[in-house]
Amino acid sequence: MIWPRLILASGSPRRRDLLAAVGADATVVRPRVDETPDGGDPAATARRLARAKAEWAARRPDLPAGRRYIVAADTLVVSRRRVLGKPNGGADARRMLGLLSNRWHEVVTGVCLLDLKTGRAKCQAEVTRVKFRKLAPSMIRAYVASGEPLDKAGAYGIQGRGAVLVERIEGCYSNVVGLPLARLAKMLERSGALA
């Protein structure tokens, strides 16, 4: 599988690492957009935010030459119809983890592929169900004290120490990390960009 050279409109090191793991060469551009969810359908919100990031990157005058496609993503954690964004400190992270304890939730990632040559953007959403095990208050406190959950939607990272919080997943693992690679590959294939 040969990936095209990409521009990744994301400040997430996890998304960059996922692309590197599958052999994709991606130049990172950190978008500056308001990532506040609008209270609407989570999948529509994630697609809208991913598109806003891609369009922001496309307007930059200093984009690297020889790269035709911009990839952007936005990940939301949804528990009981409530979107859990990045926590506003330790107390908020502990609250979120308490809500997720011993329950299923959904991780929704909007992915946008913008073709700089045609100006067309294709945006889709991937949903993965995640079940947390029952978390003791001491485990929640220790995990939050590690600092890992403070910059992640839903206050956890499945690819790090947060892996021990997760009992089961249904769907795409890389989606929970922040970028559904199989979906992105299909989008690139349909665009004729992935061989």
CATH of domain 6-190: 3.90.950.10
Q: Quick one: pLDDT band at residue 195, thresholds 50, 70, 90? A: low
How many other C-beta atoms can be found within 10 angstroms of the C-beta atom of residue 182? 13
How many other C-beta atoms can be found within 10 angstroms of the C-beta atom of residue 23? 9
- CA–CA distances in Å: residue 117 to residues 47, 58, 68, 83, 156: 21, 11, 6, 35, 37
Query: With pLDDT > 70 as the criterion, what percentage of the chain qualifies?
Result: 99
Give the start-to-end residue ranges of the domains of the chain.
Answer: 6-190
The model's pLDDT over 76-126, given as tens digits with 9 standing for 90+, comes to 999 998 999 889 999 999 999 999 999 999 999 999 999 999 999 999 999
**Does the active-site annotation cover 62?**
no
pLDDT of residue 194: 77
Q: Which of 74, 92, 115, 151 is catalytic?
A: 74
Whether the pTM exceeds 0.85: the reply is: yes
Mean per-residue pLDDT, 53-63: 93
R_g of the chain, CA atoms, integer Å: 17
The model's pLDDT over 133-151, given as tens digits with 9 standing for 90+, comes to 999 999 999 999 999 999 8
